[in-house]
Amino acid sequence: MAVRVFRWNPAREKEGKFRTYHVEVQEGARVLHVLHAIHAEDQTLSYRYCCGTGQCGSCAVQVDGEPKLACMTEARDGMTVEPLNLPVRKDLVVEMEPALAQIAPLLPKGQAECPAPEQIAAIKPLRECIECLACVSVCPAMEVAEFTGPAAMRQEMRLALDPRDAGGRIPEAIKAGLFTCTTCQACWKVCPKKIEIPGKAIEKLRALANREGLTLPRHLEVAELVKETGRTVPRTETSFLEQVDEVIEPAGPVKATVGFFVGCMYNLRLPKTALDAIQVLKRNGVRVIIPHEQVCCGSPLIRTGQLEYLPTLQQKNIECFTSRNIDTVMTMCAGCGSTLKNDYRTPFTVKDVNEILTEVGIEPPARLPLTVTYHDPCHLLRGQGIRDQPRALIRRVADLREMAVVKCCGAGGGTRSGAPEVSKALALKRDEEIIKTGADCVISSCPFCEFHIGTFSKTPVKNVTTLLLEGYRKKDEGKA
Amino acid sequence: MRADVAHEAHVLVIGSGGAGVRAALEASRHGETLLVTKSVAGKGGCTPMAEGGYNAALREADSCVGHLEDTLKGGAYLNDLELVKVLVNEAPDRLRDLVRWGAVFDVTETCEVAQRSFGGQRFPRTCYAGDRTGHEMMMTLLEQLRASNVEVLQEVTVTDLLTREGAVVGAAVLDRTGRLEVIRADSTVLATGGGSRVYDVSTNSATGTGDGYSLGYGAGAELIDMEMVQFHPTGAVYPYDARGRLVTEAVRGEGGILRNAKGERFMSRYDPERMELSTRDVVARAIAREILEGRGTPRGGVYLDVTHLPAAQIEGRLPVMLEQFLAYGVDIRKEPMEVAPSAHHFMGGLRITPTGQTTVPGLFACGEVAGGVHGANRLGGNSLAETQVFGKRAGEAAGRAPSRGQRPEPRQLDLIERRLEGFLSGMVNPVMVERKLQLAMWKGAGIFRTGPELTQTLMEVEKLGRKRLHAPSKLNLAECMTVHHLCTTAMLVVKSALLRPESRGAHVRTDLTQAHDAANSPFGHTYLSQHRSGIEMKGGSP
Ligand SMILES: Cc1cc2nc3c(=O)[nH]c(=O)nc-3n(C[C@H](O)[C@H](O)[C@H](O)COP(=O)(O)OP(=O)(O)OC[C@H]3O[C@@H](n4cnc5c(N)ncnc54)[C@H](O)[C@@H]3O)c2cc1C
Ligand code: SF4
Ligand code: SF4
Ligand code: FES
């Protein structure tokens, strides 16, 4: 098989380059075995491994751009193998020691009694970490903030759960950057042990911080507002809900009926975008039912660890749809969608607007003379696994030019309010990527991303549905 | 290349597995301690790979005497009695140390460390953390290491132990750039783990190359029972490049059935009473025999089948196996696994006293690199306990040893440098030597052995050991040294195997008939050093 491998000896060369090797391996071989085969012929290739069975965490590399354990990932003809996105020592070997040194040790109280079975059960999933640093290599917050990162946060939570530990873990975690994490989910999606760090560690640590009275003042304000108004943002203009009827019939025959969960941002900050979406849905045969008593999904509270009021919100939201016998609820906000899908137990199905439009099949819009790029909202891509649908929709209207990297824009996880400098730094990095594409316009599918990128980028930002609507408008103009 | 003393410490510990880290933690209570490891700390070695568990007599109904008797019986009475006594008496306390340091073992409803049954034991005394016990221990130890004042040098390879007037006074190491450095120490603790990588098929990690046996031998230490290599009956055979990967004993424990290619449940011919649950050596030999006599699968294994078990049982009790095999395209709920024996553990090693003192002053050893605890066959779960019990003891003894302040002999350093320079002008790719050696050992010094084959293998091994290995740059010197150690370790195994004229435990000579059983064997340890070699006779002194 042919394999491209990154080669770089920083002691000698200014920059690295890819080399293609042709080697023979047996059926079922892993990436590691390919590296062994290369090394047998070219001893100068450096790479790290030890157990060969996914237990030691020495061998993480990027395979076709994705962090993977070399010893567990099946090799593929034509694959590219690169080091993790960490300082490279040589070829595929990266510096691990600085990141590993950030992982806090347990401070023994001295008792030799075991924790209770339920405490053990809570700690165990966080304990499977093999310290491979795949998560650390993809964490956007670490690039711009003083943040010890996902592997270290996982450990803080593991320690916080252990009655044998004498350390003060919450203040420590806050000092280590707990509130700089954008909950982008990148870390656990690449974790070979599938340790849900954002949900099982970061948000849990923030919840413990909340109990200790250490929630950030800005986050407390948001929670207060939710309790008072049911919404996380104050009303500064006419809201979306104030502008629409409860039932919106499609123009033609009804192809589908959905309940629409609007979310605070589209309701109060970007109502125009939501109205655009309604136009597109109407045109494509989707009947939309919009219960007006719906409230915030609670995502901003979950992400910042303020769980007290959450059940009230959940109950209200579920009831408003069940009382209308709705079996499919559509979200348009990536954050709401991810929350309804992952943090709720709903008796109905939740689908994102991109899924709905893909399923009903859209009327072809006219093509616009635009080159656009697409920014994946974290809570759509990783929170809901939606990658291809928005892209396919975009391609119906305009040329799509991809950015080199998929990364968080910095809007989520309460960082925009809680750690604005971090949030801004990430947006600026994102803007660099946007500029590199030379696109006329950035398309996204999340109000947080749209609003946030819009604040820091000169390139205009639009929602997928707005772009589609523009395509329809052009089509109609042509006819008129 | 001119090596100066780059580091000095009261205690130097070599290896960051369970034994090494435990030793370093203990030694650091007595003086400045330096730990060097070939891998990133805690990532090397076999400790993080151990799945099954840690043996300790914890319950009222169990006893240390019971643990002792099981261990001796399992070891075919070749164990060093004093060492076994120490192991069984102190395993519980060392387990409590781990619990105090935060180890997350599985627990019972009453918050005691949970225990399960393991082969060859009359009481369920194997403590566990799911099927990642070794990893759990390693993480716990690493945390304490990070919190301690032990200085740690990672990804640094020890090439030689340095001596002065017959005593070990430190070590020569290659740092990560391939530069030779000297570490001077009053005491040195070897905790380099095992050497099963001398075989073509092995469960061991990349560092299981036997460096410690070779280092100890080079410094004049005596090794015992090096012929005693445990072959685990069930290593995976597919994919070929990952052959040997451990398939845990728990699969048979849960009711897994072994069948040959003809579909016969062949264990009925080897051990009709215990069937698949027979001891490791018996099952390994049975599987090897089936394959040897042509009743193996096309891929060279036998079937290990759990498809008759309820899917829920497989999912609940064997999650790691299910996941691993799924990754290789085999759903063990629906199809059988294919397995064959795999070299797993070295029972032999450096001869030690109960405080870990080797036969050379200034040198201590603990963990798999030391011999005597397990006799001719190791019980599953005893090694993890061994790393903690003897790690602590060796660390303590090394820490308490007096300061010596001696410097290594310059002449030895010259030799070391010359050998390393030789690699830079060598001719032979070390990877090729390693492969040939592993195949030769598998063929001629594996599960079944004969005198003529062992003699033949010794010649091959020695020939490979004389090859002039090639390092394209200084970065490859460590690799050449590893292959050098691998060859020496293989030589020690074969020579020891030739010294033992009987079948005992893991050592099987098919060309000999013998009247005695293990309990009545006239033989004791084989021993081997640069100065002497032989086999001890019971009742007489060596
Ligand atoms: C797959 C598998 C499963 C097992 N399961 C169990 C089980 O369930 N229960 C049980 O009791 N036992 C089990 N064992 C056996 C047990 O894991 C080992 O015997 C034990 O962990 C050895 O520990 P150690 O500290 O002596 O050496 P290791 O853990 O092997 O560590 C050796 C260390 O030495 C370092 N090193 C080696 N050479 C050099 C050098 N030249 N220079 C510097 N550093 C060097 C390595 O980097 C490594 O850090 C298992 C073994 C394997 C392979
Ligand atoms: S969720 Fe994103 S920002 Fe937070 S730790 Fe994980 S990768 Fe980093
Ligand atoms: S959390 Fe997962 S990805 Fe991160 S170091 Fe641990 S095992 Fe690797
Ligand atoms: S080599 Fe240990 S995890 Fe891959």
Helix axes B451-465, B430-444, angle to 10 degrees: 170
Helix axes A150-160, A117-127, angle to 10 degrees: 170
Domain count, chain A: 4
Q: What is the DSSP string of B21-70?
A: HHHHHHHTTTS-EEEEESSSTTTSSSGGG--S-EE---STT--HHHHHHH
> Comparing C-alpha atoms, which of B194, B302, B202, B296 is closest to residue B252?
B302
Cα B514 to chain centroid distance, Å, stands at: 29
Q: Which ligand is nearest to the CA of B156?
A: 1
Residue A228 lies in a domain: no
For A60, phi then psi, to 5°, come to -65, 130
Whether residues A195 and A287 fall in one domain: no
Residue type, B221: A
Asked if the Cβ–Cβ distance from B239 to A30 is below 8 Å, we say yes
Name the 3-class secondary structure at B325. helix
What is the spatial distance between Cα B382 and Cα B83, in angstroms, rounded to a whole number? 12
- DSSP tag of A202: I
What is the spatial distance between Cα A175 and Cα B135, in angstroms, rounded to a whole number? 29
Q: What is the DSSP string of A299-343?
A: HHHHHTT--TTHHHHHHHHHHHHHTTT--EEEE-SHHHHHHHHHT
Q: Can you give the pLDDT at residue B321?
A: 86
**Residue B142: CA atoms inside 13 Å, Cβ hemisphere, count?**
29
Q: Can you give the pLDDT at residue B250?
A: 82
Cβ-contact B510, B447 below 8 angstroms: no
pLDDT of residue A85 exceeding 60: yes
Q: What is the DSSP string of B195-243?
A: -GGGSSSB---TT-S-HHHHHHHHTT--EE-TT-EEEEEEEE-SSGGGT
Distance A128 CA to ligand 3 centre (A): 8
Residue A190's domain comprises 100-211
Q: Is A192 in the pocket of ligand 3 (CB under 6 A)?
A: yes
Q: Can you give the pLDDT at residue B10?
A: 97
Q: Where are the domains of chain B?
A: 12-228+347-400, 234-341
Say which CATH number the domain at A385 has.
Answer: 3.40.50.11810
Whether residues A41 and A110 fall in one domain: no
Cβ-contact B461, B469 below 8 angstroms: no
pLDDT band at A111 (very low <50, low <70, confident <90, very high): confident
Cα A211 to chain centroid distance, Å, stands at: 26
Q: Cα angle vertex B64, ends B98, B56, to 5°? A: 25
Q: Which residues pair with A288 in a beta bridge?
A: A248, A258
Q: Where are the beta strands (DSSP E) in B45-166?
A: 54-55, 115-116, 126-127, 151-154, 157-164
- For A368, counting Cβ atoms within 10 Å of its Cβ (0-12 exposed, 13-18 middle, 19+ buried), the class is middle
Which string of b and e fits A139-162 if b means at least 16 CB within 10 Å? Answer: bbbbebbebbbbbbbbbbbbbbbb
Whether residues A297 and A396 fall in one domain: no
Whether residues A159 and A178 fall in one domain: yes
Strand order through the sheet with B257-259? B229-236, B337-346, B302-305, B257-259
**In the annotation, is B345 catalytic?**
no
Q: Is A314 in the pocket of ligand 4 (CB under 6 A)?
A: no
What is the spatial distance between Cα B318 and Cα B315, in angstroms, rounded to a whole number? 6
Q: Is A167 in the pocket of ligand 4 (CB under 6 A)?
A: no
pTM of the model: 0.94
| Residue from A7, A84, A106 to probe the interface with B (highest B Cβ count within 10 Å) | A106
For A461, phi then psi, to 5°, come to -115, 135
Candidate list B7, B94, B132, B252, residue with the active-site label: B252
For A371, phi then psi, to 5°, come to -110, 125
Last residue of a domain, one of A335, A359, A383: A359
Asked if the Cβ–Cβ distance from B49 to A56 is below 8 Å, we say yes
What is the spatial distance between Cα A286 and Cα A305, in angstroms, rounded to a whole number? 36
Q: Can you give the pLDDT at residue A363?
A: 96
* Residues ≥6 apart with Cβ < 8 Å to A115: A123, A162, A163, A164, B104, B107, B111
Q: Whose CA is nearest to atom 2 of ligand 3?
A: A191
Q: pLDDT 10s per residue in chain B (542 long)?
A: 456 788 999 999 999 999 999 999 999 999 999 999 999 999 999 999 998 899 999 999 999 999 999 999 999 999 999 999 999 999 999 999 999 999 999 999 999 999 988 888 889 999 999 888 999 999 999 999 999 999 999 999 999 999 999 999 999 999 999 999 999 999 999 999 999 999 999 999 999 999 999 999 999 999 999 999 999 999 999 989 999 999 988 899 889 999 999 999 999 999 999 899 888 888 999 999 999 999 999 999 999 999 999 999 898 778 888 988 998 889 999 999 999 999 999 999 999 999 999 999 999 999 999 999 999 999 999 999 999 999 999 999 999 999 888 889 999 999 999 999 999 999 999 999 999 999 999 999 999 999 999 999 999 999 999 999 999 999 999 999 999 999 999 999 999 999 999 999 999 999 999 999 999 999 999 999 999 999 999 865 44
**Residue of chain B whose Cα is closest to the Cα of A35:** B241
Residue A404 lies in a domain: yes
Cα→Cα distances A159→A197, A429, B22, B102, B186, Å: 14, 34, 21, 9, 37
| ipTM (interface predicted TM) | 0.94
Cβ-contact B204, B196 below 8 angstroms: yes
> Comparing C-alpha atoms, which of A54, A282, A350 is closest to residue B320?
A54
Q: Which ligand is nearest to the CA of B365?
A: 1
Residues of B in contact with A116 (CB under 8 A): 107, 111
- Superfamily of B12-228+347-400 according to CATH: FAD/NAD(P)-binding domain (3.50.50.60)
User: B465: distance to nearest CA of chain A, Å?
Assistant: 19
> Comparing C-alpha atoms, which of A480, A251, A252 is closest to residue A366?
A480
Last residue of a domain, one of A44, A72, A94: A94
Cβ-contact B134, B48 below 8 angstroms: yes
Confirm or reject contact between B501 and chain A (CB < 8 A): no
Residues of A in contact with B434 (CB under 8 A): none
Cβ-contact A288, A255 below 8 angstroms: no
Last residue of a domain, one of A94, A117, A146: A94
Cβ-contact B507, B376 below 8 angstroms: yes
Whether residues A123 and A173 fall in one domain: yes
Say which CATH number the domain at A268 has.
Answer: 1.20.1050
Cβ-contact B129, B136 below 8 angstroms: yes
Q: Can you give the pLDDT at residue B542?
A: 42
Residue type, B404: R
Whether residues A202 and A274 fall in one domain: no
Q: Nearest 10 degrees: CA dihedral of B129, B133, B135, B141?
A: 90
Cβ-contact B347, B523 below 8 angstroms: no
Whether residues A368 and A452 fall in one domain: yes
- For A16, counting Cβ atoms within 10 Å of its Cβ (0-12 exposed, 13-18 middle, 19+ buried), the class is middle
Cβ-contact B73, B120 below 8 angstroms: yes
Whether residues A53 and A136 fall in one domain: no
Its CATH architecture, for the domain B234-341, is: Alpha-Beta Complex (3.90)
Cβ-contact B492, B444 below 8 angstroms: no
For A412, phi then psi, to 5°, come to -90, 180
Whether residues A387 and A466 fall in one domain: yes
Omega before B239 cis (within 30°)? Answer: yes
pLDDT of residue A242 exceeding 60: yes
Q: Which residues pair with B162 in a beta bridge?
A: B170
Say which CATH number the domain at A127 has.
Answer: 1.10.1060.10
* Residues ≥6 apart with Cβ < 8 Å to A365: A396, A397, A468, A470, A471, A472, A474, A475
For A361, phi then psi, to 5°, come to 80, 125
Q: Can you give the pLDDT at residue B539?
A: 66
Mutate to test the pocket of ligand 2, among A102, A147, A181 (most ligand atoms within 8 A of CB): A181
What is the spatial distance between Cα A457 and Cα A431, in angstroms, rounded to a whole number? 6
Cα→Cα distances B161→A98, A101, B195, B366, B403, Å: 29, 29, 18, 16, 17
Q: Can you give the pLDDT at residue A384?
A: 97
Q: Can you give the pLDDT at residue B541?
A: 45
Token output for B384: 């993890």
Q: Cα angle vertex B487, ends B484, B491, to 5°? A: 140
Whether residues A261 and A326 fall in one domain: yes
